[in-house]
Amino acid sequence: KYMTAEPYKIKVVEHIGKTTKPERQEYLKEADYNVFKLKSDVVYIDCLTDSGTSAMSANQWSAMMLGDESYAGCSSFYKLEQSVQEVFNMPFLQPTHQGRAADYFVSQIYGKKGKYTFSNMHFITYLGHANVHGTIPIDIPVDEAFDSNAMACAFKGNIDIDRFKQLINEKGADNITAVIISLTCNNNGGQPMSMENLKAVHALTESNGIPIVLDCARIAENAYFIKQREPGYEDKTIKQITQELCSYCETAIMSAKKDALVNIGGLFITRNRDVFAEANQLALAFEGYITYGGLAGRDLEAIAVGLLEGCDEAYLEHRNAQVNYLGNRLKEKGVPIVEPIGGHGVYVNSVEFFPHIPADKNPSQRLVTALYEEAGVRAVAMIMSTTDHSVRSEKSLELDCMRIAIPRRAYTTNHLDVIANALGDIYQDRDTYGGMKRVDDDWNSALSLFTSKFELL
């Protein structure tokens, strides 16, 4: 009962520099009030993303020394294939340089101009490709997905089955080229999907001949939620759950930068031989030879080890507890957060935080800049929204949030306390903050959040 601390000890440390508030005000101005443009050495605690920011283990670093850098047939590929078998139980593996390359493959293989892909919520790196390609993405999450106080909803990453049935009838199954499911659902707070819901989606897709693609960036975190929350899974191992999740899909893609605990890498995994052949061709043209897919042999080694460590229950239990700790500390201070607390970070409801700042005056962006200004903490503004325009007018399907993503195995409870205390203080003084004006003209691009410019109002 005493072993509640980190299930690891620290062997290597990385220095983080401190800055003063006037310095940070200056850095913000130079960065056009867009924290993506800050140099990382002026950031004290970096919660911009949980992607590629994990601390690797001693086992991963030592495996990297065994990296086989042969152009073709490197032994590191076969080690990775072995780990992929254990976690996904699927036969064909094409590595990619990171998740979005696998997204690109999906958009090419499963997309078709003028036809539809459905999702709980498509991630922006797929949406960018879909836009170029002409496939029409439609998000069909459950109603609770955008309710930031849906505390009783254990699986806000679920798909609305009735809406899915209705859309199959409306659009015709032949016009739906794939269902692409994000596990967990990043866009609405790292929220999990239940096995029951995936089974129901699968029953519908199977009878209609529609393939399922799973975006598995955070599949281990999703599996942990299933184990905690879904009856019948209490006694299963994480790998049994990930394997069952994958049993319902034709293809699984993964940004290994999340749950595989590495700094770079992606996976495209399928059970369909023809799809594999297409992925190989795309890899040859854009990534590299089939067995390395744009990665060094040492990167493949790090993923092979990290994928299994990411499914370790003691690690997942601590990871989940850390994210919950931050969320609960914020709640104690009255800070409005999205509930239930998600898998990879805490999402703050910026509209409730700054009720006096109108939506078009960028309350999330103001909150992100305030948090950096006060404490050197970098988070990110995220507007959760759906691509299902037909229902947009009926319901409010948008939530303006600040995501505080927690890098894996990198920060301690003390760091989380800094974030909670700083946000608590900003919340006390919330009336003193005004909104922000966006001053660039790059509004329509799906990825414009990286380049946008703001001014304080």
Output the CA–CA distances (angstroms, integers) from residue 67 to 54, 190, 261, 284, 347, in the order listed.
20, 33, 17, 21, 38
User: Are the C-beta atoms of residues 248 and 194 closer than 8 Å to each other?
Assistant: no
Among 88, 92, 105, 123, binds ligand F0G (CB under 6 A): 123
Q: Give φ, ψ of 217 to 5 degrees.
A: -50, -40
Considering CB under 6 A, how many residues would be counted as binding ligand F0G? 15
Cα–Cα distance for residue pair 211/199, rounded to 1 Å: 13
CB of 209 to ligand F0G, least distance (A): 25
Asked if 158 interacts with ligand F0G (CB under 6 A), we say no
Question: Judged by CB, which is closer to ligand F0G: 126, or 233?
Answer: 126
Asked if 94 interacts with ligand F0G (CB under 6 A), we say no
Task: Give strand pairing partners of 252.
Answer: 214, 269
User: Are the C-beta atoms of residues 289 and 72 closer than 8 Å to each other?
Assistant: yes
CB of 382 to ligand F0G, least distance (A): 9
Among 45, 217, 279, 384, binds ligand F0G (CB under 6 A): 217
Asked if 251 interacts with ligand F0G (CB under 6 A), we say no
Question: Judged by CB, which is closer to ligand F0G: 211, or 266?
Answer: 266
Asked if 120 interacts with ligand F0G (CB under 6 A), we say no
Positions 51 through 90 that interact with ligand F0G (CB under 6 A): 51
CB of 4 to ligand F0G, least distance (A): 28
Asked if 164 interacts with ligand F0G (CB under 6 A), we say no
- 313-332 helix and 219-229 helix, angle to the nearest 10 degrees: 80
Q: What angle do CA 96, 98, 104 make, to 5 degrees?
A: 75
For 151, counting Cβ atoms within 10 Å of its Cβ (0-12 exposed, 13-18 middle, 19+ buried), the class is exposed
Asked if 98 interacts with ligand F0G (CB under 6 A), we say yes
Cis peptide before 184 (omega within 30 of 0): yes
User: Are the C-beta atoms of residues 146 and 129 closer than 8 Å to each other?
Assistant: no
Neighbours of 184 (CB within 10 A): 31
CB of 101 to ligand F0G, least distance (A): 7
Question: Judged by CB, which is closer to ligand F0G: 54, or 186?
Answer: 186
Look up tokens 């922000």; give the residue. 436
Question: Judged by CB, which is closer to ligand F0G: 252, or 351?
Answer: 252
CB of 359 to ligand F0G, least distance (A): 22
User: Are the C-beta atoms of residues 273 and 92 closer than 8 Å to each other?
Assistant: yes
User: Are the C-beta atoms of residues 6 and 29 closer than 8 Å to each other?
Assistant: no
Asked if 257 interacts with ligand F0G (CB under 6 A), we say yes
Cα–Cα distance for residue pair 33/23, rounded to 1 Å: 14
Asked if 125 interacts with ligand F0G (CB under 6 A), we say yes
Among 24, 79, 100, 366, binds ligand F0G (CB under 6 A): 100
Asked if 168 interacts with ligand F0G (CB under 6 A), we say no
Per CB under 6 A, which region of 73-81, 96-104, 352-360, 362-370 contacts ligand F0G? 96-104
Which residues contact ligand F0G (rule: CB under 6 A)?
A: 49, 51, 98-100, 103, 123, 125, 182, 186, 215, 217, 255, 257, 266
